[in-house]
Amino acid sequence: MSRQRVWDLPTRLFHWSLAAGIVAAVVTGKIGGELIEWHGRAGLFILGLVIFRVVWGFVGSPTARFANFIRGPRAIKAYLKGEWKGIGHNPLGALAVLGLLAFTTAQVASGLFANDDIAFQGPLAALISKEASDQSRALHSLVFYGLLAIVGLHLAAIAFYTRVKKESLVKPMVTGWKEDDPVLAKVAHVEQRSRLGSAIAFVVAALIATTTVYAASGGLLPAEPPPPPAAAAPAAW
């Protein structure tokens, strides 16, 4: 009985937080009303997660790094022929990762500038005209379908692995360990990095993510000048 370390803790936390965040965003977006504010918060939360993941894809553990699993068409062909031996995302799964990150980013970006034609607007909508903001909303509605499709594809792939290939991908994403693969144990070696190195990388990624969310939430926009005393009183006519 052997097992391999496959997913580090930040990656796992990111994955499940993103899943929860997307569910929250979809539900609050569909219901609207008083929940629309939470829809906005969910969007900013998702943005932070995605930025973190992108940075982590450069400084994180080996299975998290884009350079290690984004391999190109030849590797995808080899994988489909059953010739890929590795740990973590396979070359085809890599496309799904990129697709999910891309659609999620597009959805958040369009949402930041959109308005709901009722009383809510994204934190950066003030930077553009109402017409442009309406177009951003239209894009947000459109990208939603793409996002839904790729999330569906992702879930279908997980189900395929479970039912057909008899391999649970859910458990390793929870525990971080991949069980019982003698071939893998011989071929793949996941280098361990010093705890300090991981911690520094995590802090850097988290800082970049936090700064981005701060900017996206309108934190860098000039503060509104205090209303003149006359404006606080009701209009005279």
Residue 146 binds another protein, judged by CB under 8 A:
no
Q: Which residues does 229 contact at the CB level (< 8 Å), separation at least 6?
A: none
Query: Are the C-beta atoms of 213 and 29 separated by less than 8 Å?
Result: no
Restricting to residues 19-38, name those near another protein by CB under 8 A: 32-34, 36
Which residue spans within the chain are E strands per DSSP? 3-5, 177-179
Residue 106 binds another protein, judged by CB under 8 A: no
Which member of 9, 13, 27, 138 binds another protein (CB under 8 A)?
138
Nearer Cβ to another protein (228/234):
234
Cα dihedral across residues 171, 176, 179, 185: positive or negative: positive
Q: Shortest CA distance to 40 belongs to which of 138, 148, 124, 100?
A: 124
Residue 27 and residue 85 in contact, taking contact as beta carbons nearer than 8 Å: no
Which CB atom, from 134 or from 179, has the smaller least distance to another protein?
134
**Terminal-residue alpha carbon distance, the chain:** 82
Which region among 1-9, 43-51, 135-143, 200-208 touches another protein (by CB under 8 A)?
135-143
Give min distance, CB of 101 to another protein, in A: 25
- Least distance (Å) from another protein to the CB of residue 47? 22
Using DSSP's 3-state secondary structure scheme, residue 85 falls into: coil
**Minimum CB separation from another protein for residue 217, in Å?**
15
Residues in the site for another protein, rule: CB under 8 A?
32-34, 36, 116-119, 134-135, 137-138, 141-142, 232, 234
